[in-house]
Amino acid sequence: MNTDKKQLTGFDLKQLTQWIKELGEPAFRAKQVMEWLVKGYDFNEMRNLPADLIVKLQNNAVAQPATVLERHVSKNDGTEKLLFNLDDSHTVEGVVMRYKHGITFCLSTQVGCAMGCAFCASTLQGRLRNLTAGEMTGMVYLANRMVKPDSISNIVLMGSGEPLDNYDEVLAFLRLISSKESLNIGARHISLSTCGLPDKIRALADEKMQVTLSVSLHASNDEVRKQIMPIAKTHSIKSVLDAAKYYLEQTGRRVVFEYALIQGINDHIDHARELASLLRGMQSHVNLIPLNDVKERNLRASTKAQVEAFLSELTRLKISATVRRQLGDDIFGACGQLRAKRLGTSFADSAGDER
């Protein structure tokens, strides 16, 4: 990553104005530059700027700290999988998903991931580094430019990486992308998925930003969770749920719990009953995820009948739950798959979308 040049997509308007003035330029130029950055444009495309300012910008900053290396469009549902190339040649993914209610962009927050979940391709190389707020914001701008004349209306931080393990940069990104000078995407249209870091969940709750918290639970008890999620050895389900309840109290936002169904591991009816007992009385929703087979780790997807039975039992027990619609199956739609495929990792063909 080039640390000598400023990532302008990481600046809010006030910060950009100050920096522009330090270049010896009038303050009004900052608003012009910001408008082009938000559109996903590079310096040489900023048509209303004087040539000498363009040279200054090119010498001292980068407009877009990522470029689109690969773009795959699903023939089945129009989902677009993007592989971004960063300034240091690392790659991360993003997914454009089209729904009736608008366009959602799924964004990565780290290069790789340190959490080690058994069913996820993102964690194969470990965490190589955190993404900056500028990189995350820039990728949203590029994706938004690609979907024109439509626009991105929702963001989910559910790609590669653990968002709360990159807390400061993610928080800066959330503030940037929701500002009126940026894309003005309100916090209620942003979801953040975490495997469960209680202290960071509480810190985010204290921000009172109204972001939807999505907890990757994937088990109804600690013994099962430890089999598939190393984080469970450090943080119990109780500690995660207590933090989630605190988030609900501080924000008034219901919490979503992700639950990937794995045959013979967490998909028994008793697990559904146990999960219902954990969540009873809490304003929440369970998002059941049909997992793809993970041959390398001997994990098999639950059958359609098992998924339906699990959902039926939760519904009977008055727990709000749905089965996630699978998108982009023909273009390595699950997080980490396309990057792993490019890196030559065999897990890419079998990993499921756990988020």
Task: Indicate which residues carry an active-site annotation.
Answer: 93, 335
The edge-to-edge listing of strands for the beta sheet with 212-216 is 66-73, 80-86, 91-99, 102-107, 152-157, 190-194, 212-216, 255-261, 284-290, 321-323
Peptide bond into 198 cis (omega under 30): no
d(CA 39, CA 144): 8
**DSSP 8-class letter at 184:** -
Both tokens of 343, joined, read 């890196």
Task: Render the burial of 121-139: b for 16+ CB within 10 Å, e for the rest.
Answer: bbbbbebeebbbbbbbbbb
163 close to 157: Cβ distance less than 8 angstroms: yes
C-alpha distances in Å from residue 63, one per residue of 5, 8, 45, 285, 343: 10, 6, 10, 39, 27
Helices 133-146/167-177 angle, 10° precision:
40
Residue 37 exposure: Cα atoms within 13 Å on the Cβ side: 30
The sign of the CA dihedral 276, 190, 323, 110 is negative
